[in-house]
Structure 1
């Protein structure tokens, strides 16, 4: 507000405004600055892998994204209802980008978000188990209103990884929302977990209340490469 007041003093045009209007401008400036600082902090904590926003999502390229469904995901009420989102499809279709775009929108909507690539998260949990930070790390994962688990299931889970994933989903079940991205369809996830009993428990907490985006079509990276020639000019 002090900064905005000094700007008003240096602007002769604003001196003609009524006192109430000038006070209103100061208050609006303070509110905007606070919102910006909060968003910056939320995005820093979220540590999204990609700089993406929902306004830039390409809905014209055929990828199996229903516009009405995506609009509801952007709206974010599914997060308030503690529902999950499963994004599947071949590599290059933009699964991680879409997840980060929805995470960015959740930050803008004043929701807490955490992003993790699953292989590195399992490594971090293993280290935390050894140095006494395990419970604290699990608690932080459980508190986030939206947790993004990217690149899950690239290989069959080990016993420790199965336990970790179950602990994470158990803490969040019915309390918060989770986005999971994976290349293979959901009906193959049971086998990728490895232990049938634990797989049943994990999928019960993850799948039954989940929205699904099954991406199809040509790789977006390949599609982009085709539009550029070696001299940097678009192909005709």
Structure 2
């Protein structure tokens, strides 16, 4: 008797999944054998799972990952890659994000650096953190444009709020003075407050030379290297297969 009014009230409260699940329950004989608490728990679980999936989907869309399907579960641990399972397992816990630590991924072109970085960001989104992917050349362009149109401070503010910022292709070209200073501003705002994932073909030991200006290089590296997990990927290029598939 009270089915229709109750359904309308559930929908007015935006509890659509709960409402649909309740309708389905009424036609399932197995569900009828459960007591009230059991049936109610199933309704709440259905609504909770649906909202969780919606939130994760939104976070992944906002992250704009280069490889949206990348996930830690699909990482290939072939011996030639020399990947440490224990280290990946530790990173998968997300503790490094809570500790505001960074992850530095280096290796030759095509060995899967971008995939691993996107997989870490994907895992962060699943845990409820905000992530954002940018290739360093693209980020530098955005910073330069923001300088020109007066939105520089606003852009820095947005970047500072991202829990996990993925910077792919670090060190592809020499940096100009304004670019060096822009990167320093980004890392200064995030230091000790947020986490950054950086991928590069250049070994970390050569990043100081890449940055050029010794003073700025010291300041940048102090903010990204000392509190960082380092992964060096090895093995042959993986781009002979599909770039979006790790295994």
Q: Normalising to structure 1: TM-score of the pair? A: 0.91
Aligned pairs for 1:71-220 within 5 A: 71-220=89-238
Structure 2 unmatched runs, 5+ = 1-17, 243-247
Helix, strand or coil at the partner of 2:239: helix
How far, CA to CA, are the matches of 2:81 and 2:127 in structure 1? 26
Residue 13 of structure 1: aligned partner = 30
Helix, strand or coil at the partner of 1:49: coil
1:31 aligns with 2:48: yes
Helix, strand or coil at the partner of 2:165: strand
Residue 61 of structure 2: aligned partner = 44
Give the C-alpha shift of residue 61 in structure 1.
Answer: 4.3
Deviates more, 1:144-153 or 1:4-13: 4-13
Residue 234 of structure 1: aligned partner = none
How far, CA to CA, are the matches of 1:184 and 1:201 in structure 2? 19
Helix, strand or coil at the partner of 1:181: strand
Structure 1 unmatched runs, 5+ = 226-236
Aligned pairs for 1:43-62 within 5 A: 43-50=60-67, 51-62=69-80
How far, CA to CA, are the matches of 2:100 and 2:110 in structure 1? 28
1:18-60 CA-partner distances (Å, limit 9, x unpaired): 1211111110011101101110111111111102000000012
Residue 15 of structure 2: aligned partner = none
How far, CA to CA, are the matches of 1:72 and 1:42 in structure 2? 22
How far, CA to CA, are the matches of 1:16 and 1:66 in structure 2? 49
Deviates more, 1:80-89 or 1:10-19: 10-19
**How much is the aligned-residue C-alpha RMSD, in angstroms?**
1.3
Helix, strand or coil at the partner of 1:151: strand
Helix, strand or coil at the partner of 1:62: helix
Q: Normalising to structure 2: TM-score of the pair? A: 0.87
